[in-house]
Amino acid sequence: MKKEKTKERVPFKTGIKKLRATLLAAGGALLALIALSLLKLSPAVCEWMSRHLSRYLVSGSVCQTDWLPFSLFEWLLVILVLAGSVLLIYGIVLLCKKRFFKLLKGLCALLAAGLFFANFYMLTAGFAYNRAPLPLPHSAVKYTGEQTQDIARYFIEDYIALGEKMTRDANGDVVSPYTHDELNQRLIEEYARLDDPYFNGLTPRAKRVVNSWFMSDTGISGIAFAPTGEANVNAMTPASDLPHTMAHEMAHIKGVMRENEANLAGYYILLSSEDDYLRYCGYFSSIRTLWNAVYISNNANSERANALFRDERLARMDAERARANRFWAEYKGPIGFLSDFWDSAGTFFNDLYLKLNGQEDGVGSYDNPSTVGPTDEYDPETGEQLYDYSFSKIHQLFFGIYETKTQA
């Protein structure tokens, strides 16, 4: 007769001894994470770490992954999801079989691994969220309403002229004159103009994500992952949006982690470029911010701003912008029936991630707001109440480029 094997219960003390190494590793990683989080509170420490440690860790990752024709981050994420699903099922099985110690052992191992990753992420990306402000050429001049109108008109005319030159498809949307590899090379060359040591030395290629349908369903145009040194973009992004998306994600890998500043870095290299397509795409993503500049500098009066942007020659670009916005709003992929859920979930986790990294406004940190408000002063001629205002960083960026081009 065959004897039935019985599972021997693991005494508590014996179990703790067996878990000692894992618990010590998790505890050490937790203490290290707490220490790094405390150091992160100091902008001076963050700047030093960004310049003297993070840049070399990320640049090392770029060297290791940039040659790969696919996104390592994407496939690590796929593997993580699959492995997580398997482990979840395995955990439920252990729970049903009352194998509590084995389950606890596995959870402790996962905790330790997660904490070690959190430390590495802090070293590669976390400190850059609280470093010094991004050093980009800009203007601090407080232009008057009329001057702001002239500056906006200068850029609108350039945008219109470029729009006439662009090759378009049957829908009227711009067709990129470059292959993806060529566009990468052009952006890398543009970033070479930013030779400030603030930036990581290596500029990665932006990689197209295979599962871009999922990114479109969740409203994600790009994602950078510092531990692998990769800038990843949604391959379905409209051609006029793509260069800024690529430049934005590249900026993250170059040490510009705050979302509003990554936007600014992308805008700058496009708007100041001599390449017609890149400059057109820079305007396509940002020209409407000049409406706000004209508005706030003219006593919060929208008429003058509206008059500038009512130009019939802008109609073709406005229609293209509307189609691009509609793409993001209406796309439905293979799991399109869950689009609203995925979109909400993506926004929630992105907001949480940004807030955990010190960005109090969460997803609102992508913006570069201006300010305007009434004063106690009145125009002696018209009796109109006067408003005080301050330009946003994107306005100052435009003004700086204007000054450089008109004074050259």
- How is the chain split among helix, strand and coil, in percent rounded to 5? 65, 5, 30
Residue 125's Cβ-count burial label (10 Å; 0-12, 13-18, 19+) is buried
Count: domains in the chain: 2
Q: Assess if residue 57 is contained within a domain.
A: no
> Can you give the pLDDT at residue 339?
65
Q: Assess if residue 48 is contained within a domain.
A: no
**Contact (Cβ atoms closer than 8 angstroms) between residue 167 and residue 278:** no
Q: Assess if residue 6 is contained within a domain.
A: no
Q: Assess if residue 221 is contained within a domain.
A: yes
Report the alpha-carbon distance of residue 280 to residue 225 in Å, rounded: 28
> Can you give the pLDDT at residue 348?
75
**Looking at the structure, do residues 94 and 165 belong to the same domain, yes or no?**
no
Report the alpha-carbon distance of residue 93 to residue 148 in Å, rounded: 67
> Can you give the pLDDT at residue 1?
46
**Looking at the structure, do residues 296 and 370 belong to the same domain, yes or no?**
yes
CA distances from 144 to 147, 293, 378 (A): 5, 10, 16
Q: Assess if residue 354 is contained within a domain.
A: yes
Q: Assess if residue 324 is contained within a domain.
A: yes
DSSP string, 130-171: GSPPP----------HHHHHHHHHHHHHHHHHHHHHS-B-TT
**Looking at the structure, do residues 149 and 288 belong to the same domain, yes or no?**
yes
Q: Assess if residue 52 is contained within a domain.
A: no
Supply 286's token pair: 């940002």
- Residue numbers in the chain where pLDDT is lower than 70: 1-18, 334-343, 345-346, 349, 359, 361-367, 408
Cβ-Cβ contacts under 8 Å for 313 (sequence gap 6 or more): 160, 163
> Can you give the pLDDT at residue 100?
83
**Looking at the structure, do residues 184 and 115 belong to the same domain, yes or no?**
no
Angle among Cα 328, 270, 404 to the nearest 5 degrees reads 145
Domain hosting 100: range is 12-39+70-126
Q: Full-prediction pTM beyond 0.95?
A: no
> Can you give the pLDDT at residue 19?
79
Provide the greatest CA pair distance for the chain.
Answer: 111
> Can you give the pLDDT at residue 148?
96
